[in-house]
Amino acid sequence: MHLLSVEHITKSYGEKLLFENVTFGVEDGDKVGIIGVNGTGKSTFLKVIAGLEQADSGTVSIGNRVTVRMLAQDPVFAPNETTLEHVLGGDSPQLRAVQAYAAAMEAIELNPSDVALQDKLIKANQLMDEFDAWQLESDAKMALSKL
C-alpha cells in the first residue's frame, strides 16, 4: 500500500539551502531513517512532510488512509501528561477510541459496580473493535521504548 510520496521538495531559510529537489516514496512495510548533523534541516524536513511547514517548491502526497503525526523535538506537555498520553492524544477515530476506552477503564476501577460505567465500558470496547485499535497503544509503547 502506498503511504507517502515526496516529489521535488526544496526548502531554504534566507540564503541557507536546507534540502533541494528531494524525491522519494514510502510503501507499507518500509523503514525510513533520517540522519544528519545538528542544524542541517532534519526537523524542518519532517515538518514539511507533516504539513506543519510549506516547502519552497515540490509536493508531498499522503495516502487516503494515512495520518501523519509528528512528536516535536521539544514537545509541550499538559500538566501531569505522560509521553504516551501525548503521543496518543490525537483526534483520529482510532485514537479517540483508545482515549474513550482508557477513560472508561479508569472510571470503572474507581466504581466497579456502577451500571452506567459498565455500559460505557461496553461501548468503548465496541469502538476499539470497530476501529481495530487494540494494538495501537502497545505499538506506541513499543515505538517509544525504542527511542
Residue matched to cell numbers 525504542: 146
For the residues 58-86, what does the mean pLDDT come to?
85
Flag whether pLDDT at 60 surpasses 90: yes
Q: Give the tens place of pLDDT for each residue, 7-54.
A: 999 999 889 999 999 999 999 989 888 998 988 899 999 999 999 999
| Residue 74 grid cell | 521539544
Distance (Å, rounded) from C-alpha 94 to C-alpha 105? 17
For the residues 54-61, what does the mean pLDDT come to?
96
Q: Identify the three-state secondary structure at position 70.
A: coil
Domain ranges of the chain: 2-62, 83-146
pTM of the model: 0.63
Helices (H), 2-133: 42-50, 83-87, 93-110, 115-130
The domain 2-62 is placed in CATH, from the list 3.40.30.10, 3.40.50.1820, 3.40.50.300, 3.50.50.60, at 3.40.50.300
